[in-house]
A and B are shown apart, each in its own frame.
Chain A
Amino acid sequence: MNLLGLSPVWAAVLLIAVAAAVIGLYLLKPAPRRIVIASTLIWERVLHRKRRDAERWRWWQSLLVSLLIALLIAFAIIRPDTGQESTDGKRIAIVVDNGPSMQTLRSDGRTRLEYAMAEARRLIAAGGAGGRTKVVDTMGTLGAPVFEDRRRALAELDRIGAAARGKPRFPETLRADAKGDAARIVFITDGVAALDIPKGVEVVSAFEPAANVGLTAFDVRTPPGDPRRYEAFVAVANAGAAPQRVAIAIAGAGRAPVERTLDVKAHDTRALTVTLPDFVGGPVRASVRADGDAFALDDEAYAFLPVTKVAKVALVTPGNRALEQALRLDPRVVLTILSPQQYATRAGFDAYVFDRFAPPAAPAAPALLIRPPHQSWLPAIGATRAAPLVESWLDGHPVLDNVSLRDVQIERSVTFRTDAMPVIALARDAGGAAMIVASAAQPRWIASGFAIEDSNFAAQASFPMFVVNALAWLLDEPPAMVRPLGLASVPIARARVVGPSGYQKDTRFVPDATLFDADVPGVYAAEGETGRLRIVANVLDPAVTAVNASRLAPRRSAATDARAPANAPEPWFVLLLVAILLMMFEWWTYHRRLTL
């Protein structure tokens, strides 16, 4: 409570002073003069007569007021209906489209959804006090509604909220009602969502053309081979009927926004690539601004850049020029070359690359192992294959991103047995045996079953990419997952998910994954016992941006002309209110001795 900035003590003093002043002024009021007369006998007679007349009048007044109060309460209890706007007792089902496009602003300042809600309220009010109404939405917010009285229907209506994601659907439960004649079905929509509307459904348009510019694509990546530089790809769509000059701003944590201006024709999409100098990682937000933009949901999008830091890498090798050159190509790597004998004497590296060598115990830092000998912390080595072909590989895995093993010729390679240890088989031979494996357990490691010298891999264009990817996977935070708005799954068991606002999200657990509702665009962080992951949720959907793709003509609905105002109180409420006012009047007159 605000007390004009006064402390409670001073506020109390002020109130007491005001009360004292009022009491003082009241006491200063002159008392009536006392006049001694011969006898009050005659006056008593006059006053008695006057009182008697007043009493009679007060008696009647009191009786009338009491009767009125009782009648009003009785009327209120029996819920009278004026009969105006009655739908002849026919039930009405109101379907409100609350899909994302319904968040578009209309020229009157209301959103299409607010307009639809107002229309629905008018329809409910027009049904009269005895009307039965079922309120349904297209996003399934209300579950399985039933026909209810006006008050409950209005309460149900108030539960409908704007959905930021998901595909609207015409409620299946109403299809049966649409076939019969028992209920009138009114669907209030902007017509943007392509819904299968049954016959017999009365469609009320909430559509009004609006200007909208939105992001339909946004991605930030490092160029291949240069993990310390970032580029953003942005696509902007203009869903309005007029060309728009669009201001694009891309902002990263602690960095000045990069701004661009783009002219986009009506119903057109334009894309551009923006270099993001000095961006070092973390969340990146892209936003667009345009005159008269009526739909905000698609005006921003997010990305998350993994932080790439300079890494001290030790190459433990008896000598491998190709590997050494590949490592030196990575600008983030500070390379130290050690012989296997020197390995035990040096420490303090961020990552190791072991060439045809493996220490007896797992190293303290992540490691890339090329044709390692068997050690207990590594998977058991299976058969040695001569001239094996890489039959399959996980090209979606970050280590093999932009890496092709199709043309790699191998003279011989060992395979790893993956049954005894939880490892990821990145590449397999024709027999299905794992040739390249990786372990996500900390510290991470990647092991290749063939040596560089036993293959032409070093001569492949993808070899440096493999090395860079491997080091990034070993050293960096994994890249953020990109998900559309809605239910998102994170491959972390029993993870704790924090939303863009910093509050923990409600989660549901399934085997090896956690589900949560990504309800607003932004960067979410999931963290569990097995790891940590960022999830970027965006709208980025041309179908959502196309808020004018309506099949309906903009028009006033019939219900707009309904005479009953949307917020008109029900008669019983008015009666009860009048009864309460009369009771207060009766109380006042009683204390003023005007009634009995």
Chain B
Amino acid sequence: MVFSDYRPYTPGDDTRNLDWGIYLRLDRLILRLFEEEADLPVYFFVDASASMAFGEPSKFDFARRVAAALAYLALLDHDRVSVVAWADGIARELPVRRGNAQTWPVFRFLQGLASGGRTDLQAALRSYFGGRRPRGLVILLSDFLDEGGFAPAANFLRQFRHEVFAMQVLSPQEVKPDLPEEVVLVDAESGVADAVRVTPALLAEYAEAQDEHCREIESVCRSGGWTYLRARTDAPFEELMLQLLREQGVLK
């Protein structure tokens, strides 16, 4: 508890905080105000679905690196760090860690994660936040390739009034795919195959659809007052950490 300010007493205020010295000197009832400096729960939600294994480097590796960097900063700041790997539910969970001494356990946990399974963010959020969790910062690292869509999951999360930072991880291969003319595309998660005749026109349409998808995710985030960041795995990591996170207000 750290003193922060004074204000005049109003009936109903806790009389235990009256500054009796001032009352004696000035004959006025002044209330002392204190700020309680609580440690912030930070929930790292790392997408470990099969789609995250795509790309070179893989989106999953990229997401883990980002999570590790941010977790390190949080631990330095004495925040309570939780790390959750999720796919169509909670894949693995690192219980709350606090203090910089927990840096390596967090890193080891992240290193030990493996990708696999289908993406179902809503199921994962329901599973994790279904129990009582203190309000905090949710850092969501995912490609958001969720058949159920992002909006239902976001709506679910919004009710807990967490602060949310969503990072959409994109690989350059999926932003600008290099495909032969005749190809059967196989979904890494569902195994569904689609025979596609790749033409420049189709690629242009794909790029448009990809952009549209990203805009949808961003729109959902912005509408909830969340922070959204789109990151390509081929972007320089330092630049991302130092500039983009700062620009987005994640780092101060």
Are A35 and B188 interface neighbours, CB within 8 A? no
Find out whether the CB atom of A38 lies under 8 angstroms from the CB atom of B143. Answer: yes
CA A338 to CA B190, docked complex, whole Å: 126
User: In the complex, what residue of chain A is closest to B182 when comparing beta carbons?
Assistant: A32
Which residues of A54-71 have CB atoms within 8 Å of chain B's CB atoms?
Answer: none
Q: Answer whether residue A41 sits at the interface, using C-beta atoms and an 8 A cutoff.
A: yes
Contact B213 A39 (CB under 8 A): no
Contact partner of B54 among A34, A38, A41, A46, CB < 8 A? A38
Q: Which listed residue, B143, B182, B192, B202, touches A40 by the CB 8 Å rule?
A: B192
The B interface, classified by DSSP as helix, strand, loop or mixed, is mixed
Q: Which residue of B lies closest to A45 (CB)?
A: B209
- Do A32 and B184 touch across chains, with their CB atoms under 8 A apart? yes
Q: List residues 185-207 of chain B with CB under 8 A from any CB of chain A.
A: 185-190, 192-196, 202, 205-206
Determine the distance from Cα of A41 to Cα of B150 in the docked complex, in whole angstroms: 13
Selected from A35, A42, A47, the residue in CB contact (under 8 A) with B186 is A35
Q: Within the complex, what minimum Cβ distance (angstroms) separates B47 from chain A? A: 11
By the criterion CB–CB under 8 Å, are A46 and B189 in contact?
no
- The CA of A38 and the CA of B188, in the complex, are separated in Å by 5
- B interface residues, how many (CB within 8 angstroms): 36
Once the chains bind, are B54 and A35 in contact (CB under 8 Å)?
no
Q: Complex: how many Å from CA A36 to CA B186?
A: 5
B145 within 8 A of A: yes
Q: Kindly state whether residue B103 has any CB partner on chain A within 8 Å.
A: no
Q: How far is A50 from B205 in the complex, measured between Cα atoms in Å? A: 9
Q: Would A37 and B182 count as touching, CB distance under 8 A?
A: no
Query: A-facing mask of B29-70, CB < 8 A → 1, else 0?
Result: 000000000000000000000011111000100000000000
Expressed in whole angstroms, the Cα–Cα distance for A549 and B44 within the complex equals 118
Say if the beta carbon of B14 comes within 8 Å of chain A. Answer: no
**Pairwise interchain contact B187-A47, C-beta atoms closer than 8 A:** no
Cα distance, A10 to B177, chains bound together (Å): 54
Cβ 8 A contact of A43, one of B52, B182, B185: B185
Q: How far is the CA of A39 from the CA of B177 in the complex (A)?
A: 12
Q: How far is the CA of A35 from the CA of B190 in the complex (A)?
A: 14
Give min CB distance, A543 to chain B, whole Å: 80
Chain A residues whose CB sits within 8 angstroms of the CB of B183 once the complex forms:
32-35
Contact across chains for A35 and B205 when beta carbons are under 8 A apart: no
Choice from A40, A45, A49 contacting B185 with Cβ under 8 Å: A40
Q: Does A44 contact B (CB under 8 A)?
A: yes
| Contacting pair A37 B186 (CB below 8 A) | yes
In the assembled complex, the Cα of A45 lies from the Cα of B196 at a distance in Å of 13
CB-CB < 8 A to A33: which residues of B? 180, 182-184
CB contacts (< 8 Å) of A45 on chain B: these are 209, 212-213
B contact residues around A40 at 8 Å (CB) = 185-187, 190, 192, 194
Q: Which residues from B are CB-within-8-Å of A39?
A: 51, 119, 143, 145, 187-189
> Is B205 a contact of A46 with CB atoms below 8 Å?
yes
B155 at the interface (CB under 8 A from A): no
Flag whether B101 is at the interface (Cβ < 8 A).
Answer: no
Of residues 17 through 38 on chain A, the ones whose CB sits less than 8 Å from some CB of chain B are: 32-38
Q: State in angstroms the CA–CA spacing of A46 and B194 once bound together.
A: 12
Whether A37 contacts B206 by the Cβ 8 Å rule is no
Bound Cα distance from A32 to B145, whole angstroms: 25
Q: Is there a chain A Cβ closer than 8 Å to B171's Cβ?
A: yes
Beta-carbon contact of B194 and A43 below 8 Å? yes
Q: Which of B52, B179, B180, B213 contacts A42 (CB 8 A)?
A: B213
CB distance from A55 to the nearest CB of B (A): 16
Cα(A376)–Cα(B238), bound, Å:
151
CA distance A38 to B195 in the complex (A): 16
* Cβ contact within 8 Å between A44 and B194: yes
Chain B residues lying within 8 Å of A50, measured Cβ to Cβ, are 202, 205
Interchain CA distance A33-B181 in the complex, whole Å: 9
Cα–Cα, bound, A574→B51 (Å): 59
Tell me the nearest residue of chain A to B197, going by C-beta: A32
B210 CB within 8 Å of chain A: yes
Contact with B along A183-223 (1 / 0, CB 8 A): 00000000000000000000000000000000000000000
A32-B182, A32-B183, A50-B202 known; A38-B209 Cβ under 8 A:
no
Complex Cα spacing A46 to B119, Å: 20
Chain B neighbourhood of A42, CB < 8 A = 145, 174, 206, 209-210, 213
* Bound CA–CA A45/B214 (angstroms): 13
Contact between B194 and A47 (Cβ–Cβ < 8 Å)?
yes
Closest to B189 in A: A39
B residues near A38, Cβ cutoff 8 Å: 51-55, 59, 143, 145, 171, 174, 188-189
Residue among A36, A38, A47 with most chain B CB within 10 A: A38
* Contact partners of A32 in chain B: CB under 8 A: 180, 182-184, 195
Confirm or deny: B147 has a beta carbon within 8 angstroms of a beta carbon on chain A.
yes
Q: Collect the chain A residues with CB atoms within 8 Å of residue B205's CB.
A: 46, 49-50
Chain A residue nearest to B193 (CB atoms) is: A34
List 12 extra interface pairs beyond A35-B186, A38-B54, A42-B174, CB under 8 A.
A37-B174, A37-B185, A38-B51, A38-B55, A38-B174, A39-B143, A39-B188, A39-B189, A41-B213, A47-B196, A49-B209, A50-B205
Q: Could you name 19 residue pairs across A and B whose Cβ atoms are closer than 8 Å? A: A32-B182, A32-B183, A33-B180, A34-B186, A35-B184, A37-B54, A37-B174, A38-B143, A38-B174, A38-B188, A40-B185, A40-B187, A40-B194, A41-B147, A42-B206, A42-B209, A42-B213, A43-B194, A45-B209
| A interface with B by C-beta (< 8 Å) | 32-47, 49-50
| Closest 8 pairs between A and B when the two form their complex, measured CB to CB | A38-B54, A38-B51, A39-B145, A32-B182, A40-B187, A34-B184, A36-B186, A39-B51
